[in-house]
Structure 1
Amino acid sequence: MMSEMNAAVLHGKEDLRLERIAVPEAGHGEIVVQVGAALTCGTDLKVYRRGYHAMMLKPPILFGHELAGVVTQVGPGATKFTRGDRVVALNSAPCDKCYFCGRGQQNLCEDLLFNNGAYAEFIRIPSRIVEKNTLTIPDSIPFEHAALTEPLACVVRGLEESGAKAGDSMIVIGAGPIGLMFMHVAELAGVDVIAVVKRQDQVATAKLFGARQVVQIGTEDAVEAARALTPEGRGADIVIEAVATPATWHWAVEMVRKGGVVNFFGGPPSGTKVQLDTNRLHYGDITLKASFHHTPQTCRTAFDLITSGRFKCAEAITGRVGLDEVPAVFAAMMTRSGGVREIKTAVFPGGVR
């Protein structure tokens, strides 16, 4: 086996470098996976822009967290997988022992173990993730589709936590990868989706991913236009905020009906503050909540959506690059110069097929 490999290493703010580093070795209960495909992600872009992530990583550190590939090494005590298995390894696993895990909130685990390093030829999977959050991929599912499991698991949990059911109306603010996934999963659940998007090229994409109606901001008052599309103009049963700005948090509260639910899904920068209309919240009996991360159960629900063929995986992947192009891809994502309708870029360390 090779002793060195190529890997993307984050050194700081907008400083991502391809480097030669040692191929990881599997310790007790661990496996090493040869990365078949890794996917770009909005969280990775935020980390790239800021140069760190308070919970997950401090530079210099291996980068990327959505991946699937083939097991090449099995450490002592790891019994669930063998060499040659096709797997998707999630980016975290809970302890299942702490206060939050004991209350069914594994996403808030006090010892949530994260793993990064997907933009590389090989990645080591810690034993806890091997045991609790690594899944075997059917031969018919491409690696890049299986790698969608992690972001989709976060979205599935967000939809479940919002109490969405067939026949509900839902407004989704934002048409980035997460917003589009929300539209699609909601549509699959029988929810009537209205999308609020920024750019003209996102209108058709939102419809492709399940929005029945689309409001483009800048062309009309977003709140008025979105509410006008809901039954009797009363607002949506559920509003999903997937942009993470104070302005869109305000919109979400204005777009929901009395007795409805707002899910602030986007993660704003630390220190962000908003002021909300207390009168509207109280007398409107509005539920405000936020959803962070995923649980082992929502990972499996998302994986089933992908492997069943119900989720539009191919449409979610709009770019395909080799590992050497990763630094340029992130630079392009900062300026949106990579093309008009980029959603997810698949990175193939073995070369683009």
Structure 2
Amino acid sequence: MSREMTAAVLYGKEDLRLEQVDVPRPAAGELLVRVEAALTCGTDLKVYRRGYHAMMLKPPIPFGHELAGVVEEVGAGVAAFRVGDRVVALNSAPCDACFFCTHGQQNLCEDLLFNNGTYAEFIRIPARIVEKNTLRIPDGVLFEHAALTEPLACVVRGLEESGAKAGDTMVVIGAGPIGLMFMDVARSAGVRVIAVVKRADQVETARLFGAAEVVRLDEVEDVIAATRALTPAGRGADVVIEAVATPMTWEWAVEMVRKGGVVNFFGGPPSGTKVGLDTNRLHYGDITLKASFHHTPATCRTAFELVTSGKLKCAEYITGRVGLDAVPAVFARMMTRNGSSREIKTAVFPHGVPAEVTR
């Protein structure tokens, strides 16, 4: 006889519903995980706003992709995990057999397997993710902190692709959760960070996560000039990370980097978006342009080590804690927030907010 659970299901644009659905049963090689903490994410908000994600999900479908939990059931043939293990299960796993996987680009896997449905009491973890991208959480690490692994893994890959090293100057455009993670990881690596932010409330937050200098858009006439003025000799930053996803900020990034520097277009604008770049500056300035998408098993493990080692400001990312019943309202609020308070990530606890993390 099947059990039922509560889950948030996305039906389309801004249409997120709580429903009673069957608790999935793990097949061979799979796990059933009791979700202890799931986190809101900018990607989830983008999907909620658009009603779909071409690669990750098509509605109606269980929603959410950042989680940590406890193994509830173990499918046949699983030897690496047992009931009661505390785990992070990533939201995807590559095939390791296609052209891109065999050329060191697992994030571009032609058969990248995604998994969604973390805003629920339980989630089934497919065998490939169990094998390649499920990690055991050390004792003493909070579930809500461990769940930061997935977005952080994307940031780690972006930073690695940018080649930033200790002593470099990096500009991060944007102070959403991803921009803040770039600041945090860069700070921990000895990189000097200049943050470019939009709102007054983001100034203090950017400094909290490691920005040495902050440029606020409404306080300067020329954001490019103001940012370059904070770099050594005004020559521009060694690395610029674009984490806003608009044509304007993509163009700013190219103007803020020094000759011979690297720009990482991390923010992904909608399909069909075009930008205008100064080809003379790119060519004669010997500027490298990169774009980073998703993560790899290796960067997932690097991110997990950063989280579990205490090197990052994990507690500061969690600015709200709610039960599962509040998820639709949380996303509706995220669509209309006005920046009057610091809001980064909300932790969702499907089985009730634990007393030890209640504030």
Contact 2:9/2:19 (<8 A) preserved: yes
In structure 2, the partner of 1:309 is 310
In structure 2, the partner of 1:168 is 168
Output the TM-score relative to the length of structure 2: 0.97
Alignment map for 1:14-93 (pairs within 5 Å): 14-93=14-93
In structure 2, the partner of 1:233 is 234
Contact 1:329/1:338 (<8 A) preserved: no
Contact 1:8/1:17 (<8 A) preserved: yes
For residues 27 and 79 of structure 1, what CA distance do their matches in structure 2 show? 14
In structure 2, the partner of 1:142 is 142
Give the aligned residue type for 1:342: E
Give the aligned residue type for 1:305: L
For residues 339 and 25 of structure 1, what CA distance do their matches in structure 2 show? 43
For residues 56 and 306 of structure 1, what CA distance do their matches in structure 2 show? 25
Note the residue ranges of structure 1 that are not aligned, 5 or more in a row: none
CA deviation string 1:293-338 (max 9, x = no partner): 0000000000000110111110011000000000000000001158
For residues 210 and 44 of structure 1, what CA distance do their matches in structure 2 show? 25
For residues 338 and 10 of structure 1, what CA distance do their matches in structure 2 show? 26
Query: 1:340: Cα distance to partner?
Result: 1.3
For residues 339 and 109 of structure 1, what CA distance do their matches in structure 2 show? 40
Give the aligned residue type for 1:230: T
In structure 2, the partner of 1:123 is 123
CA deviation string 1:39-67 (max 9, x = no partner): 00000000000000000100000000000
Give the aligned residue type for 2:275: V
Query: 1:275: Cα distance to partner?
Result: 1.3
In structure 2, the partner of 1:224 is 225
Please report the RMSD computed on the Cα atoms of aligned residues, expressed in angstroms: 1.0
Give the aligned residue type for 2:43: T
Contact 1:38/1:346 (<8 A) preserved: yes
In structure 2, the partner of 1:246 is 247
Matched position secondary structure for 1:55 = coil
Q: Is residue 98 of structure 2 the alignment partner of residue 98 of structure 1?
A: yes
In structure 1, the partner of 2:352 is 351
In structure 1, the partner of 2:283 is 282
For residues 34 and 109 of structure 1, what CA distance do their matches in structure 2 show? 28
Query: 1:2: Cα distance to partner?
Result: 7.1
Matched position secondary structure for 1:99 = coil
Contact 2:37/2:147 (<8 A) preserved: yes
Aligned residues: 353
CA deviation string 1:226-278 (max 9, x = no partner): 10000010000000000000000010000000000000000111111111110
In structure 2, the partner of 1:326 is 327
For residues 296 and 96 of structure 1, what CA distance do their matches in structure 2 show? 10
Query: 1:78: Cα distance to partner?
Result: 1.3
Matched position secondary structure for 2:211 = coil
Contact 2:12/2:48 (<8 A) preserved: yes
For residues 137 and 10 of structure 1, what CA distance do their matches in structure 2 show? 29
Contact 1:332/1:338 (<8 A) preserved: no
For residues 278 and 267 of structure 1, what CA distance do their matches in structure 2 show? 21
Matched position secondary structure for 1:253 = helix
Give the aligned residue type for 1:127: A
In structure 1, the partner of 2:108 is 108
Matched position secondary structure for 1:212 = strand
Deviating runs (4+, > 6 A) in structure 1? none
Q: Is residue 341 of structure 2 the alignment partner of residue 340 of structure 1?
A: yes
Q: Percent identity?
A: 80
Matched position secondary structure for 1:102 = helix
For residues 337 and 139 of structure 2, what CA distance do their matches in structure 1 show? 34
Matched position secondary structure for 1:154 = helix
Matched position secondary structure for 2:321 = strand
In structure 2, the partner of 1:12 is 12
Query: 1:339: Cα distance to partner?
Result: 5.5
Query: 1:352: Cα distance to partner?
Result: 1.1
In structure 2, the partner of 1:292 is 293
Matched position secondary structure for 1:218 = helix
Contact 2:201/2:339 (<8 A) preserved: no
Note the residue ranges of structure 2 that are not aligned, 5 or more in a row: 355-359
Q: Is residue 267 of structure 2 the alignment partner of residue 266 of structure 1?
A: yes
Counterparts in 2 of 1:337 and 1:194: CA distance versus 1, 3 Å: closer
Matched position secondary structure for 1:329 = helix
Give the aligned residue type for 1:253: V
Give the aligned residue type for 1:14: E
Counterparts in 2 of 1:140 and 1:154: CA distance versus 1, 3 Å: same
